[in-house]
Amino acid sequence: MSKQQLPIVNPADDGACCAPLAFEPLSEAEAAELAPLFKAIADPVRLRLLSLIACHEGGEACVCDLTAAFDLTAPTISHHLKVLKQAGLIGSERRGTWVYYWLNPGVLDRLSAILGPRVTA
């Protein structure tokens, strides 16, 4: 699904330089597209929200579970979830009383691949 966006580069011969970022200079367009995604996760509450959602049973979490994990108000949590959703990192759906959140597949993998090698050293 992310094949059209940026290629996953195979490890180079020396095994040390195979992250896309270190393989070829990022273009202005790529950098402009990636920066807002990194900005969305560059917050301690949003990093923990992403992690809580990803770790939740079935890969999705109710806003009620997320809010309970923080010493923050519900509107503050909602604000951070909105930032993550607007960046395309998470999806959501209302079911009855609660809204449920999940990680959009491939987005974190893509950011991961940009930064580092896809092989264990």
- The DSSP code for 3 is T
Give the separation between CA 109 and CA 84, rounded to whole angstroms: 15
Output the CA torsion 112→80→65→2 (10° steps): -30
Indicate which single residue of 5, 38, 86, 88 sits in contact with a copy of itself (rule: CB under 8 A). Answer: 38
Q: How crowded is the C-beta side of 24, counted as CA atoms within 13 Å?
A: 10
Q: Please, what is the minimum distance in Å from the beta carbon of residue 39 to a copy of itself?
A: 4
Site membership for a copy of itself, residue 12 (CB under 8 A): no
Which stretches of the chain bind a copy of itself, using CB under 8 A? 8, 17, 19, 21-26, 28, 31-32, 34-36, 38-39, 41-45, 47-48, 50-52, 54-55, 59, 69, 103, 108-109, 111-121
